[in-house]
Structure 1
Amino acid sequence: MASHMPANYAEDRLHRYLAHWTRDPSNVSTLDVDAISWATDKERDEREKKYCEVASDYYDLVTPLYEQGWGQQFHYTPLTPGLSIGESMTAYEKTFAELARLKKGMRVLDLGCGIGGPARTIASTVGCTIVGITDNAWHVERGTALTKKTGLVHLVTLVQGDFLKLPFPDESFDAAYSVESLCYAPDPAEVYREIKRVLKPGAPFTFHDFAMTEKFDERIPEHRRVRNWVEFGNGITKMPWVPQMRAGVKKAGFELLSEQDMAFRSAPAPWYYGPAGDIWWAWKMPGWADFWKVLKMWEPFRGTAHAVYRLMILFGMLPREVSTLMDTMWYCTKGVAVGGKMGIFTPMYLFVCRKPAKGKE
């Protein structure tokens, strides 16, 4: 696969994804804004039963756009003074590997590897062997091609599978980590327990993840609406809450060594200035490439582009799904930015854990 954009990229991917979020199954070409913003508990419970399908349909739709717009690393990052967003991502992946206590020669499990961007950075930096797992077939295909291109096939392998049914023997990994992926599993405690099964006694397990913070209050309608935006915009069926994650780690039998919201490490700019389209920060941060990325998410620019596309749709030059896709990506970026500004959401809450040594469980 030479390009990040597959030959068969078409409207049907959008239709498949929107079908999970509409109250009118006959209309999967436009957004059901009310259903997205004010999803009921029952609707969220029904989606949760199809968490693998929802996530896979989401990444079939957005992966080409992610890679085109942001590169091979599909995660948020604390921003480092003097570095661009992309450079900050790479620097953070190296810091994350240290926090995860990854060492040369280890056999490491990457849960929710995407197309393998972080795995390739960590493997080449640390010298460990990484097996990445994702439920998306295209991630495996695209990621394997990129791994071959970088000459890291001896260190990085990508496979398709389900978090809750890991296709690996008991105690077969020296360490495990995840970057913004375990939030796709329906029950934190259940997925943590399955990860514990495949780790050797005493092995480290570290993850940073999407989470509603302890400031989130289910009783506040605006909080629920923003959470629902994050879920729709990122293909998540039920967002985890930090206290729920903390309890899940302990319930699964891990030792919880430390936890922190890595978003607070971002300096001088807030982590969400990119998805917020904050061109003031984009102007101050280094690199024209970053400015162009952020400018495309600036509301006046986005509104102008949307108006142009609508004219082209009106004259039959583009399918109407182009406008719907732009609206979908609005939720992807604005949901996290609004939640970040409110302090009720973070994309990088970090837990550092360890499987107890034999005889100490």
Structure 2
Amino acid sequence: MSSHLPPHYTPALLHRYLSHFNRDPSNLNVIDHDAVGYATVEERAARAKKYNEVAYDYYDLVSPLYEQGWGQRFHYTPIFPGKSIADSMTAYEHEFARIARLKPGMKVVDLGAWHVKRGTQLTKEAGLEGKVTLIEGNFLRLPFEDESFDAAYSVESLCYAPEPAEVYREIKRVLKPGAPFTFHDFAMTEKFDENKTEHAKIRNWVEFGNGIVKMPWVPDMRRGVLSAGFELLAEEDMAGRSKAAPWYYGPAGDVSWAWRVPGWDDFFRVVKMSPFFLFIANSIYRVLILFGFAPPETLTLMDTMLYCCRSVAIGGKMGIFTPMYVFTCRKPIRDKKGDGSVEQKHGQKKDELKMA
């Protein structure tokens, strides 16, 4: 779209994504803000039927921008005392691995990736070709045999399925008895009220800004885990661990927090998300567009990315949204009794497995 964007970027990528949300398919150069904020039940149901297509088009559009702006890691994280956003990500990844009970020698399935081609390239660059294999698949029809894995985990991925409970059941199928399943996901919290117009609008903004067709709600996720037959060992909104600064200060472009958290790289990233910087960037691009040096879709792309960041920040401030709700589960251990029926052994109780 312009020399400042990744190579091979074209307006077609944006048009393809907006076609899932705009009510007028003949005008895909701008966002239909009314359709995004006040999507009808029918419109959201129609998108849910093509959730794979919506998610693919979204990540085709935004992943190069994420990598360019934030690096190869762009999951949300609690901000730890004395650590930058980048260092907090690293600390949280280690903590998540501990919570997920991942150990050397395990055969583990990580559910969710941008593209197999890109992931394979990064795996090769990291020298992990012999340890990591990427396979394109579908959450609802995993291309693996029953009881194939020692553990499963997911980070900000399962929320892209329209019915998470169906995904949980499929994951349970491919796990060995007693295997852990842990996932960190986007969710509307228990404070979310579908009947409040403002709540529903923010939910819709998060969906558009992140390529999600049906944002999961924590109570539904909990019921889904249990109905799939998992033992629910623990659950926690990891946003509550963000003590040094609110987790959303980055996407909110809150420079006042950026001064207090170490890491100049993070500081400049947050500054680039600040309202003042975006006003300047918007003004510059308007001039470039006026003189033909950038296509009109550039501003629309900037607005789309603004939905991505500001919607989660607003939802986080309101307490109705979190990008890091974690469930720790386990497939029951099964012992056959003499009559051929199955007995479930639950091991430790849920209240004994609270996350540290």
TM-score (norm 2): 0.92
Q: Deviations over 1:188-216 (max 9, x none)?
A: 11000000000001100000100000000
The answer on whether the counterparts of 1:113 and 1:178 sit within 8 Å (CA) in structure 2 is no
Instruction: Please identify, of 196-205 and 68-77, the stretch whose mean Cα deviation from structure 2 is larger.
Output: 68-77
| Moved segments of 4+, more than 4 Å | none
Report how far residue 311 of structure 1 moved: 1.3
Match for residue 287 of structure 1 among 248, 255, 263 = 263
Residues 1:22 and 2:22 aligned together = yes
Change (3 A) 1:308 1:6: closer
What secondary structure does 1:156 align onto?
A: coil
Unaligned stretches of 5+ residues in structure 1: 115-138
Match for residue 195 of structure 1 among 171, 180, 189 = 171
What secondary structure does 1:39 align onto?
A: coil
Q: 1:93 matched to which residue of 2?
A: 93
CA distance in 2, matches of 1:148, 1:241: 37
The answer on whether the counterparts of 2:187 and 2:325 sit within 8 Å (CA) in structure 1 is yes
The answer on whether the counterparts of 1:101 and 1:204 sit within 8 Å (CA) in structure 2 is yes
Q: 1:110 matched to which residue of 2?
A: 110
Q: How does 1:107-146 map to 2 (within 5 A)?
A: 107-114=107-114, 139-146=115-122
Q: 1:320 matched to which residue of 2?
A: 296
TM-score (norm 1): 0.91
Q: 2:193 matched to which residue of 1?
A: 217
Report how far residue 167 of structure 1 moved: 0.5
What secondary structure does 1:247 align onto?
A: helix
CA distance in 2, matches of 1:267, 1:109: 31
CA distance in 2, matches of 1:158, 1:94: 22
Q: How does 1:1-361 map to 2 (within 5 A)?
A: 7-114=7-114, 139-358=115-334, 359-361=342-344
Report how far residue 73 of structure 1 moved: 1.5
- Aligned residue identity for 2:129: V
CA distance in 1, matches of 2:318, 2:131: 41
Q: 1:119 matched to which residue of 2?
A: none
Change (3 A) 1:167 1:6: farther
The answer on whether the counterparts of 2:6 and 2:65 sit within 8 Å (CA) in structure 1 is no
The answer on whether the counterparts of 1:188 and 1:248 sit within 8 Å (CA) in structure 2 is yes
- Aligned residue identity for 2:25: P
Report how far residue 69 of structure 1 moved: 1.2
What secondary structure does 1:274 align onto?
A: helix
Report how far residue 344 of structure 1 moved: 0.1
Report how far residue 6 of structure 1 moved: 6.2
The answer on whether the counterparts of 1:70 and 1:86 sit within 8 Å (CA) in structure 2 is no
Instruction: Please identify, of 87-96 and 340-349, the stretch whose mean Cα deviation from structure 2 is larger.
Output: 87-96
Q: 2:337 matched to which residue of 1?
A: none
Which structure has more RCO (C-alpha within 8 Å, separation ≥ 6)? 2
CA distance in 2, matches of 1:142, 1:21: 27
What secondary structure does 2:322 align onto?
A: strand
Q: Deviations over 1:10-42 (max 9, x none)?
A: 111001000000000101111000000000010
CA distance in 2, matches of 1:351, 1:344: 18
Instruction: Please identify, of 325-334 and 307-316, the stretch whose mean Cα deviation from structure 2 is larger.
Output: 307-316
Structure whose alpha-carbon radius of gyration is higher: 2
The answer on whether the counterparts of 1:80 and 1:88 sit within 8 Å (CA) in structure 2 is yes
Report how far residue 360 of structure 1 moved: 3.2
Coordinate RMSD, CA, aligned: 1.0
What secondary structure does 2:235 align onto?
A: strand
The answer on whether the counterparts of 1:272 and 1:340 sit within 8 Å (CA) in structure 2 is yes
CA distance in 1, matches of 2:46, 2:74: 27
Report how far residue 7 of structure 1 moved: 4.1
The answer on whether the counterparts of 2:6 and 2:68 sit within 8 Å (CA) in structure 1 is no
The answer on whether the counterparts of 1:214 and 1:243 sit within 8 Å (CA) in structure 2 is yes
Taking every aligned residue pair, what percent have the same amino acid on both sides? Answer: 68
Unaligned stretches of 5+ residues in structure 2: 335-341, 345-356
